[in-house]
Structure 1
Amino acid sequence: MTNKVILVGLVSTVVLAGCMSQTTTSSEQPLSFLDDFPKSGTTLPYSVLRDDLVDGKTNETFEVRNGGFGSAMTAHPTRSNQFYALTDRGPNANYTGDYGKGKTFPVADYTPRIGLFEVADDGQVSLVKQILLHRPDGTLISGLPNSSALGGTGETPYHANGMPVLMDDSQPYNQQSNPIKLDDYGLDGEGLVALKDGSFWISDEYGPHIVHYDANGIEIGRINAFQADARNTHYLPAVFQHRRANRGMEGLAITPDETTLVGIMQSTMKNPDKAAQKGNLTRIVTVNLKTGDTEQYLYRQEKNENSNSEIAALTQDQFLVIERDGSFLLGGPKKANPNAQKHVYRIDLSTGTPLSQVALSDSVKRDPNHGLMIEGLTLEQYAQQNGWSALAQYGIQPVSKSLVVDMVKEVSYPHDKMEGLWVIDHHHLGVLNDDDFATWSTNGQLEQKYLSTDQVDANQLYIIKADLL
């Protein structure tokens, strides 16, 4: 492992106006370089976590980068020249070893974290600090999977050499005395909210969990769908236990008055089975932080198994939402797809049907585990089998949506993932990708993640002119 740090320029700014954001900043004057921001975007700083692994394709060593600050981003609530960005659980890749299907964690002790970045008047960026995430007792969390009691999907964590991650790696595996290491505080963070009091809310892809951290990254509260979890301050509806693996609560926002969290699931949930998760129905949930009351709304994706990767507040009811597929415009590790979809939509919760208000009947019932059901089918099943027009016959409408930005048309967006949204002002939107710590895997073999023959994927910030009024 190395300690070398590579810094590359970043030009960015944050000026939020009125309630056009999750928070309000102290400045309302946009910085002068906004209109001249390079169309191709600017790369965020990164350090190198390790550079001794051998690329499965080239047989040469490659870099695992941190980087990784692309799972979410949000403005600093009071300092107009600073913003926060979030990592997920750390570098990982699909892998099947002697202990079953799971993930390779080439930096198994990685701690998920929030980065605070500052932009100088000349547009240069510095990483002010990293806020590592901690348990309530002050010890560092990991990005390792949760146990099955908290929604774990049986992912076995492996080291890069194919050995399982154990409670004590110096000793051989023993199911009782030295089992596979899991972490019920482990987080695969994907959504980020920064509050005016200095604390943060983070949503993740595991439980899904929504966790409240203080300004030092120490857990002070938690929300999930598991009634037996004594750590919770409030609870999500039980249906959210059926999140699809690696497609949990990908986006998190808060209303401008900081009373209500708004989370969006990445894709159709496994409710009640894998066949149901292949649809285009995504759930949005709101949580009143004072009362714990929740509400659900439906979002209709443009095609089956798309991803909603971020949500950002404009007003109490209107939000921006990312909807994307997983393809690469220029190819990258996959075949080039000229029809790659990387969209930002404006949605309005007030136009969608609150699921708690749907009238019950002989055909429409509420199941304590699977939520609202129609003719014995979950909403995921019913929409998939009968279509959205059939849902409408029962008075169930998704939230309205209108296209704000097509990133492929706007900037020839080359990345597979688009996961960060930043409302800068009424006319400028920041977009950030997740670079997966510059790693990829093919048939379980780790490799460098390339966008083209010689371009390694990196966190790239784009600033887009858009009408956000």
Structure 2
Amino acid sequence: MFKKSMLHALAAAALVPAAHAGVDLIAIGSISGSYEDLSTRTAAPLENGVPGNRLGGLGSGLAYAGGNTFLALPDRGPNAKPYNPLVDDTVSYIVRFQTLRLALSPSDAGSALPFTLTPTLRKTTLLSSPTPLVYGSGAGLGNRIDGVTPIGSGAPALNAARHRYYFTGRSDNFDPTRPSTNTLNARLDPESIRVSNDGERVYVSDEYGPYVHEFERSTGKRIRSFKLPANLAITRLSAQSAVEIADNTVGRVTNKGMEGLAITPDGRLLVGFMQANLEQDKKGSLRIVTIDTYTGATRQYAYKLTDGSGVSEILAINNHEFLVDERDGSGMADTPLLTDTASAAKVKKLYVIDLDGARDVSDLSGDLSAYAVTKSAAPFLDVVAKLTAAGTDPRLIPSKIEGIAFGPDVSIKGVTKHTLFVANDNDFLATIADPLKLPSDATRTMVPNPNQFYVFSFDDHDLPRYVPQRINDERDRDHGRDHDDDED
């Protein structure tokens, strides 16, 4: 046993060099949380009064698509505004991804950081199915925020206008007679996105099912869904998360499903990450699910939490090593209302893990820690430490650091460096109570809560086995101008 423990410790130490002085913050950029996206046909107010094309939640998932192009994935929509507990305040927000240009340019002399990051929204793509989906009837839900208009069916009005079946974030859009992994359900809570090597398709993971869907990148139409293991599903479904959690003993915990998704550089393997333990597993024992995109075969591996409350993302370093985003819920927008107390960010750390030699735990449950994949003893990147060292108050570091993606190489003082882009989920809250002031302060007001992007540089010493994913980006899919998918 001692020998096995020593070998595991040595393997963990070998994952990451002892020093990470080369990992540096090089740029910060943002997009206002009050903007609207390019899907003007969805701009009408949702059930809670929020515009249906609010540009928010961009860092739930972030994928590199070549050049300066990134895909940003909001989650199920603006449900942080209370209006109806029977559907967990979820709304008929049509889920989508945003195509962004994240351009780095050298900063002016005297700037604190070497680069300036300029984000530009280029395209909004709505996610749909070519075949019918299951929507809630709206019966018994009462009226919208105006107190007059019935909430009605969960099917978006755009379905009839576009002759499509759109996925939405509303929690009652499901068939109660089938397991949660039923791919006919219209409810989708997307949390991560990755691009195929040919650049033509995107893969999206979700928390409701959980699901992993493949969509056509240009149109957002679903191409296929991967069959996930039955032990990830729940069988007693509800529009209310508390009811689902109480009624199930097997499967994903509600709102803590497949939060992360990676694609290996060879483009063959998708690697999903459950945010928290399954109902049948011990707390702190998380599951990684690999999917062979050629055969559909799956495997499951165990992960042991270190000091966060869950995992938000996974990113491929090569075909067997990955960065894992482990975090807590503290930080800016953790407590967005005027009556709440301030919250300082603490745990936002990226660890290196290695699946090589790990045991498939598909047939196991309970405490999986003995089979946990090899994990670096120290984090590759401590986001809170880096940002506070650069002068950012920890109360202004976003609570939900969720999107991570490698980006284009840059030159710093004549030396080529790799880049890592990190983004937050701002929960579609355009403003929040000032995190720097306490509720007792009479001058406390609402302040902007933007979509944030942080860029870090690193070199081959920091990740010696880093292999970039090669994405075909020769064709300009955005046609050089801003638009939404109404033009396809």
- The one-character-per-residue Cα deviations of 1:309-362 (angstroms, maximum 9, x if unpaired) are 111111000111100011126974354455621111111111532225xxxxxx
- The 2-side partners of 1:330 and 1:85 are apart by 19
- The one-character-per-residue Cα deviations of 1:32-91 (angstroms, maximum 9, x if unpaired) are xx98844xx2112552488999x9xxxxx9999412212100111xx3111111111111
Q: Which amino acid aligns with 1:165?
A: I
Runs of 5+ consecutive residues of structure 1 not aligned to the other structure: 1-33, 56-60, 148-154, 170-179, 224-234, 357-370, 373-377, 440-446
Q: Does 1:129 align with 2:120?
A: no
Q: Give the match for residue 468 of structure 1.
A: 463
Closer, same or farther in 2 for the Cα pair 1:121/1:337, shift >3 Å?
closer
Q: Does 1:400 align with 2:385?
A: no
Closer, same or farther in 2 for the Cα pair 1:157/1:403, shift >3 Å?
farther
Q: Which amino acid aligns with 2:69?
A: Q
Asked if the contact 2:303/2:373 (under 8 Å) is kept, the reply is: yes
Report the 3-state secondary structure (helix = DSSP H, G, I; strand = E; otherwise coil) of the residue aligned with 1:419: strand
Asked if the contact 2:71/2:98 (under 8 Å) is kept, the reply is: yes
Aligned counterpart for 1:166 among listed residues 126, 149, 152 = 152
Closer, same or farther in 2 for the Cα pair 1:36/1:344, shift >3 Å?
closer
- The 1-side partners of 2:137 and 2:298 are apart by 24
Q: Does 1:190 align with 2:191?
A: yes
Q: Does 1:71 align with 2:54?
A: no
- The 2-side partners of 1:146 and 1:352 are apart by 45
Closer, same or farther in 2 for the Cα pair 1:114/1:146, shift >3 Å?
farther
Report the 3-state secondary structure (helix = DSSP H, G, I; strand = E; otherwise coil) of the residue aligned with 2:87: strand
Aligned counterpart for 1:457 among listed residues 441, 446, 449 = 449
Q: Give the match for residue 293 of structure 1.
A: 297
- The 1-side partners of 2:347 and 2:315 are apart by 19
| TM-score, length basis structure 1 | 0.65
- The Cα shift of 1:158 comes to 7.7
Q: Give the match for residue 104 of structure 1.
A: 89
Runs of 5+ consecutive residues of structure 2 not aligned to the other structure: 1-22, 38-42, 106-116, 156-170, 175-184, 234-250, 389-393, 410-416, 437-444, 465-488
- The Cα shift of 1:448 comes to 4.4
- The 2-side partners of 1:464 and 1:45 are apart by 21
Q: Give the match for residue 312 of structure 1.
A: 315
Asked if the contact 2:351/2:375 (under 8 Å) is kept, the reply is: no
Q: Which amino acid aligns with 2:353?
A: I
- The one-character-per-residue Cα deviations of 1:10-52 (angstroms, maximum 9, x if unpaired) are xxxxxxxxxxxxxxxxxxxxxxxx98844xx211255248899
Cα RMSD, aligned residues only:
3.8
Closer, same or farther in 2 for the Cα pair 1:158/1:88, shift >3 Å?
farther
Q: Which amino acid aligns with 2:59?
A: G
- The one-character-per-residue Cα deviations of 1:110-148 (angstroms, maximum 9, x if unpaired) are 2111111124575543211111111124x8x89x8899x
- The Cα shift of 1:292 comes to 1.4
Asked if the contact 2:260/2:311 (under 8 Å) is kept, the reply is: yes
- The 2-side partners of 1:88 and 1:73 are apart by 11
| TM-score, length basis structure 2 | 0.62
Q: Which amino acid aligns with 2:63?
A: T
In the TM superposition, 1:292-371 aligns within 5 A as: 292-303=296-307, 306-328=309-331, 332-333=335-336, 334-338=340-344, 340-355=346-361, 371=363
Q: Give the match for residue 80 of structure 1.
A: 67
Greater RCO structure (CA 8 Å; 6+ sep): 2
Report the 3-state secondary structure (helix = DSSP H, G, I; strand = E; otherwise coil) of the residue aligned with 1:455: strand
